[in-house]
Copies of this chain bind each other. A is one copy, B any other.
Amino acid sequence: MGGEAEMVESQEWYMAAYAAEGVPTSDHLKLRTKTLSLAPDSIPDRHVAIQMLYISVDPYLRTRMSGLNDGLYFPQFEINQVITAFAIGRVVRSKDSKFTEGDVVISPFFPVAEYFVAPAETLIGKVDPADGISPPEYLSCLGVPGFAAWVGIEVLGDPKPGSNVFISAAAGGVGIFAGQLAKIRGCRVKLLKEEFGYDDAFNYNKETDFDAALTRYFPNGIDVYLDNVGGKMLEAVLNHVNHRARIPVCGMISQYNKPWTEREGVRNLLNMVGKDVRMEGFLVGTYLDRFGDFGIQMKNYIKEGKISSKHMIFNGIDSFLESLASLFSSSNHGKVIIQIRSE
């Protein structure tokens, strides 16, 4: 017990009401305080008590808050229940032989809370202080967005040297790493915002004439488009694809905040026939058998200085709503992380 009292006050975010449309607000997500016992008798066997350190705020969380059980992504968060997220915490008490107090541990589904008790089997790894990689990097280039970028570029997009690669929502978590991975492959990369030394960029929230922008940025057409915007941006891209273009889709952030019947329809899918285009949606969870390969490759790139992360750090658990909203605004510059406490 690193100085923790036997009883702690823990703030946690719970789902008060679903938000079918728009960015969720304090009408939908509310903060409450619970008192939690960290006494040894209160921790079940093969469980650990965790103090939250860093929370990864990712766009897919929005899809669990709509109340629309359309069978997509993960199930909806339950009303009155604490929500969960990919996160890093510190073990403050362990009833499991694989973990000791002080371990900094990772889980895809930690409660968005300051303290909690979790089954040890839900922890997917430890932060190794010796490898020189910071906890935020474990949530960015080595976390959900890094893995999504790796699946999108390395597994599905598979661009060749010299390919023209377009990455939407590039300022967000996934795009940053996808752009760098495509650069490592020798591609010509264009993305939404100028960051990290890429060739060029534009912003889907400001650039209204997508077609003119794509004509300007891709005079030779698009070979790989990693989509996480959808809607009108995807439609514009489909008018600029080259033969046998590939479109891995890891999300459609322009479309999350409305029911599907009110989303922007894509009218030119026929272009996929004329150009032999493959479009492929993916959830990172489907590719977990490749997570080990990904970690090895990505850690090497980090050590070689080929992959760098940019983080947009919010402070304190009460910043969750603000951090979530930032995913849907163009003020988002880098992987959104909430720091609860430093390690």
* Measured CA separation A239–B283 after assembly (Å): 17
Q: Which residues of B contact A279 (CB under 8 A)?
A: 269, 272, 278-280
Known interface pairs A278-B279, A278-B280, A279-B279; A273-B260 also in contact (CB < 8 Å): no
* Measured CA separation A277–B282 after assembly (Å): 7
* Measured CA separation A71–B283 after assembly (Å): 32
* Measured CA separation A210–B124 after assembly (Å): 43
Is the Cβ of B286 less than 8 Å from the Cβ of A282?
no
* Measured CA separation A282–B278 after assembly (Å): 9
Known interface pairs A250-B273, A273-B252; A268-B260 also in contact (CB < 8 Å): yes
Is the Cβ of B280 less than 8 Å from the Cβ of A270?
no
Q: Which residues of B contact A135 (CB under 8 A)?
A: none
Within 8 Å of chain B (Cβ to Cβ): is A230?
Answer: yes
A241 to chain B, nearest CB (A): 10
Within 8 Å of chain B (Cβ to Cβ): is A275?
Answer: yes
Within 8 Å of chain B (Cβ to Cβ): is A89?
Answer: no
Within 8 Å of chain B (Cβ to Cβ): is A40?
Answer: no
* Measured CA separation A279–B264 after assembly (Å): 18
CB nearest to A270 among chain B residues: B252
Contact bitstring A204-242, B, C-beta under 8 A = 1, else 0: 000000000000000000000000001000110001000
* Measured CA separation A121–B35 after assembly (Å): 84
Within 8 Å of chain B (Cβ to Cβ): is A196?
Answer: no
Within 8 Å of chain B (Cβ to Cβ): is A249?
Answer: yes
Within 8 Å of chain B (Cβ to Cβ): is A21?
Answer: no
Is the Cβ of A267 less than 8 Å from the Cβ of B273?
no
A137 to chain B, nearest CB (A): 25
Is the Cβ of A71 less than 8 Å from the Cβ of B273?
no
Q: Which residues of B contact A230 (CB under 8 A)?
A: 269-270
Within 8 Å of chain B (Cβ to Cβ): is A161?
Answer: no
Is the Cβ of A281 less than 8 Å from the Cβ of B286?
no
Within 8 Å of chain B (Cβ to Cβ): is A276?
Answer: yes
CB nearest to A273 among chain B residues: B281
Q: Which residues of B contact A281 (CB under 8 A)?
A: 269-278
A164 to chain B, nearest CB (A): 16
* Measured CA separation A244–B282 after assembly (Å): 9
A291 to chain B, nearest CB (A): 16
Looking at the complex, which one of B70, B273, B278 makes contact with A72 (CB distance below 8 Å)?
B273
Is the Cβ of A267 less than 8 Å from the Cβ of B272?
no
Q: Which residues of B contact A239 (CB under 8 A)?
A: 70
CB nearest to A274 among chain B residues: B72
Is the Cβ of A273 less than 8 Å from the Cβ of B264?
no
Known interface pairs A263-B267, A266-B266, A267-B265; A274-B283 also in contact (CB < 8 Å): yes
CB nearest to A240 among chain B residues: B71
Q: Which residues of B contact A272 (CB under 8 A)?
A: 249, 279-281
Given contacts A244-B286, A273-B281, could you give 16 more A-B pairs where the C-beta distance is less than 8 Å?
Answer: A63-B274, A72-B275, A249-B269, A252-B270, A260-B268, A260-B270, A261-B267, A263-B267, A263-B268, A266-B269, A274-B281, A276-B281, A277-B280, A277-B281, A278-B279, A278-B281
